[in-house]
Amino acid sequence: MFYRENSQLSTAPLFRAFEKFRAMVRCGLDVVFPQKCLGCKKEGFAFCPRCRGRIPWLTSPQSFDTISVWQYEHPSLQKALWKLKYRGKKELAHDLAESMYDKILETIAENDLFSDPSGNMAEKYLVVPIPIHTNRKKERGYNQSELLARELALFDTSLFLLETGVLFKTKETKSQVSVINREKRLRNIRGSFGVRNSEKIRGKNILVVDDITTTGATLAEARKVLLLAGAKTVICVTVAH
């Protein structure tokens, strides 16, 4: 209901109400089970701004249409992504998505990627997470890329609109981490994504969200199928490269 594009009612009040409710829940949980930053152990954060600020931002983009916040090699970042992906530390998604949002704003300022040719802010970007196969989601219980996408969309509802019902995994593939080189990764991921409800993305600007990119094979395949399905533009954003 929060993400239905064609609703006749404005969704802004609903987002604000949801954010207030979520903040209240988080505040209550923090009192009983206080979060502690995985870096400095400061209470109230899963990964505090100060510790995230110590990780140098990735300054050289992989490509024109891919944005990554950090280089993966930093130990604190590796720990955060591992805990998010494999240890169920879902609260990390909010703090990591905050840095993704900051990076996107910087990119907007530098490259006007989110503006139309006249210089005006373009229409909303549909935020689409990289999906995982249903079998893997059952095992893990969640998709970390969807958590990141959901949090990112909530940072600016005037610019982003979450859409989880479009891109899906058509087949289960080997983990890209276990595949050695780019050529093999491309073969492994080729044909593994499909698009449903294509009318939702036809002529739209898409922001694809994932946690990590290495060779870019996964993002390239997702971008390809979304463009073939009628998307206007596809930009990808990840936490790390």
**Whole-prediction pTM value?**
0.81
pLDDT of residue 5: 39
Q: What is the mean pLDDT of the chain?
A: 83
**Phi/psi at 55 (5° precision):** -90, 120
pLDDT digits (tens, 9 = 90+) for 57-85: 998 666 678 999 999 999 999 999 999 99
pLDDT of residue 145: 97
Confidence category of residue 191, pLDDT binned at 50, 70, 90: confident
Nearest-angstrom CA–CA distance, 117 and 81: 36
pLDDT digits (tens, 9 = 90+) for 10-46: 455 565 565 556 556 555 555 556 789 999 999 989 9
Nearest-angstrom CA–CA distance, 69 and 59: 8
**Amino acid, single-letter form, for residue 76:** S
Question: CATH number of the domain at 55-240, please?
Answer: 3.40.50
Nearest-angstrom CA–CA distance, 75 and 190: 31
pLDDT of residue 61: 62
Q: What is the mean pLDDT of the segment spanning 88-114?
A: 89
What percentage of residues in the chain have a pLDDT greater than 70? 75
Nearest-angstrom CA–CA distance, 179 and 239: 20
**Amino acid, single-letter form, for residue 95:** D
Give the domain ranges of the chain: 55-240
